[in-house]
Structures are given as structure tokens and as C-alpha cells.
Amino acid sequence: MSANNVKPFTVFVEGNIGSGKTTFLEHFRQFEDITLLTEPVEMWRDLKGCNLLELMYKDPEKWAMTFQSYVSLTMLDMHRRPASTPVKLMERSLFSARYCFVEHMMRNNTLHPAQFAVLDEWFRFIQHNIPIDADLIVYLKTSPSIVYQRIKKRARSEEQCVPLSYIEELHRLHEDWLINRIHAECPAPVLVLDADLDLSQITDEYKRSEHQILRKAVNVVMS
């Protein structure tokens, strides 16, 4: 709850791997009225000395369930984390966990149907028993070929084996969820930004969302 005990205006920042979510979030670090929760990748890379991210990429059939279970726990922790500011920006959510990553791993049989069923039951239970809603989703829309080049350039070691086909499938799943709305539960209105733009041009795109987010923040504070 923010200072005046009102739920903060909550934004999920969603997009493919390499779509610029961290850069987008860092743009908002300049505002003191916003709490930023970036993806806890470092927790996934070091759980009691185990690099679950690396294990998952190296042997998906063996580790996808373990990895996605822990990702969901860390995302639930972020959803539940109180914010003392009128606005809370989160990098990804339990929704992209379920509708993009877990969905992909089920469709390509990285997750056994029994494992998928367990993860889906957890998602449904949380969705019906714990408030994890949002007020806005910012979707950093990208072209798979562009983010694939960024991933190569970024050279995050665990991702070097990621094929373009995986990025294309994740793109389709983000489009199905956020644009084609195939899942009934889309938790909030979606603001689509053109995240193919390179860093020099993308600030104007950020400013478009800045206005919408900060204006809402004023409403929260005034309410």
C-alpha cells in the first residue's frame, strides 16, 4: 500500500527476451514516485549456489519444471511486495510466466503434461485466491529478428544457445496474449510501444507511456 494506504497504480512491463524491458524500467528511475521491481534474474542464477537459469537452458527437459516453479515463486513475491509510492512498475508477471514461457514449454514438450498441469493449477489457485492484478500493461512490441541480434550482442552467457525459433515462438505467444487476447484473463489495458526502435529514438516512445503512467499516479495520490 502506498503512504496513504491506497493500492499503488501497478504496471506490468512485458515483452520478449531482449525487448528492452530493463532499459525501459531504468528510464523511470528518475521519478521518486515510482517503485521499480526488475526481474530477479540474479536469484534465478544463484539459488543456494545453483544456477537454475543455466541448468534450464542446458537441459530443459530435466530443469524447466524446477526453473519455472522458482520463477513463479519470485514473481509472486514481487506481486505481493508493498510499495510506499503511488506507482509500482514490475518487469514481467505471473501472467507472462504462464501464458508465454510455461505455455511454450508445454507446447514443445519441454514440460511433461503432468508438470504443466501442476504449474497451471498453481497459477489458477493464485489467480483466484491472491490479488495480483495490474492497472496497465506496457507491451514492448518487437520483431524477433531484431531482439535475436540484441541477445547475441548482449551475450548473456546462458542465452547464447537460444535459437531464433524460440524467440519467434515467444513473440507469437506474447501477441496471442496481449494483442489477440486469446486468454480471457488479460489483467489490464495494454499500451503497445514500438520497442524495435534503437536507444537513440526510443525515448519518445517512453515519453508516451510516461504521460499515461504519471497521470494515473496523480489520480492514485489524489484519490
Ligand X SMILES: Cc1cc2cn([C@H]3C[C@H](O)[C@@H](CO)O3)c(=O)nc2[nH]1
In whole angstroms, the minimum distance from the beta carbon of 130 to ligand X comes to 16
Minimum distance, C-beta of residue 41 to ligand X, in the bound complex (Å): 5
Q: How far is the CB of 105 from ligand X (least distance, A)?
A: 8
d(CA 170, CA 92): 13
All residues at 6 or more sequence positions from 72 whose CB lies less than 8 Å from its CB, including other chains: 94, 97, 119, 122, 123
Under 8 Å between Cβ of 6 and 135? no
Q: Which is nearer to ligand X, 86 or 144 (CB)?
A: 144
What's the min distance (Å) between Cβ of 53 and ligand X?
6
Instruction: Give the nearest distance from C-beta 104 to ligand X in angstroms.
Output: 9
| 88 vs 92, beta carbon nearer ligand X | 92
Q: Supply 182's cell numbers.
A: 486469446
Nearer to ligand X, 55 or 193 (CB): 55
What is the distance between the alpha carbons of residues 219 and 223, in angstroms, rounded to a whole number? 6
Closer by beta carbon to ligand X, 165 or else 219:
165
For ligand X, which is the closer residue by CB, 77 or 204? 77
Which chain residues interact with ligand X by CB under 6 A? 17, 39, 41, 53, 71, 75, 92, 96-97, 101, 159
Burial of 158 (0-12, 13-18, 19+ CB in 10 A): middle
Residue sitting closest to ligand X (CB): 97
Cell numbers standing for residue 79: 506481486
* Cα gap 74→60, rounded to integer Å: 19
User: Within 10 A of 28 (CB to CB), how many other CB atoms are there?
Assistant: 20
Catalytic site residues? 91
Structural contact between residues 93 and 162, judged by C-beta atoms closer than 8 angstroms? no
- For the chain, the 3-state helix, strand and coil shares in percent, each to the nearest 5, are 55, 15, 30
